[in-house]
Amino acid sequence: MASVSSFDVVSDFDQQELKNALDQTLREIHNRYDLKDTKTTIEAGDNQLTINTDSEYTLGAVRDLLESKFIRRGLSLKILDYGPEEPASGARVRQVVTLRRGIPEDLAKQISKKIRDEFKKVTPQIQGNAVRVQGKNKDDLQAVIQALKAEDYPVALQFNNYR
């Protein structure tokens, strides 16, 4: 009997790389002349970041800095979901940034349908926040990975557990 190969399509990020990017951002904020005296803080929670700064201008500069550090550390910008800018105490500005993790159910169904329609020899299966793709031929699985990489989905996709 032929063996079955598989891989998982997931949307996740490396927690340590996130921490490193935040540390680098805060270090640069404390060293940059235009941001040094703004008393900017970035608080990291489980699935969100809270940026608290002086003004809308410095908030934009901090966002740009954070995004550049994310790119440099290999993190996708698609994991960032910016909330509205809110006034904070002391005439300051606060913004909550939600960190996206997992593939939403409607997107998982869309990915599964695309795989079923275009690749008849593989079978996709939705498993919680991931989509498992199985097939007998590894070349078919590689073709599925290439097709999914070519698409522009609203979440960052990774392919792991390739067996």
pLDDT digits 0-9 by tens, 58-108: 889 999 999 999 999 988 888 889 999 888 888 889 999 999 888 888 888
Neighbouring C-beta atoms of residue 72, cutoff 10 Å: 12
The pLDDT assigned to 2 comes to: 55
Q: Could you tell me if 111 and 59 are in contact, meaning their C-beta atoms sit under 8 angstroms apart?
A: no
Rg (CA), the chain: 20
Residue 77: C-alpha distances to residues 2, 87, 109 (Å): 40, 25, 23
H/E element, 56: helix 56-72
117: enclosing H helix or E strand: helix 105-118
- Other C-beta atoms lying within 10 Å of the C-beta of residue 29: 22
Nearest to 22 by CA among 2, 38, 7, 42: 42
Q: What percent of the chain has pLDDT over 90?
A: 18
Q: Which domains does the chain have, with CATH numbers?
A: 5-12+102-160 (3.30.70.860), 15-99 (3.30.70.990)
Two structure tokens written together for 120: 């008849």
Average pLDDT, the chain: 87
Say if CB 132 and CB 8 are below 8 A apart: yes
pLDDT of residue 1: 40
- Residue 134 β-bridge partners: 6, 123
The pTM assigned to this predicted structure is 0.81
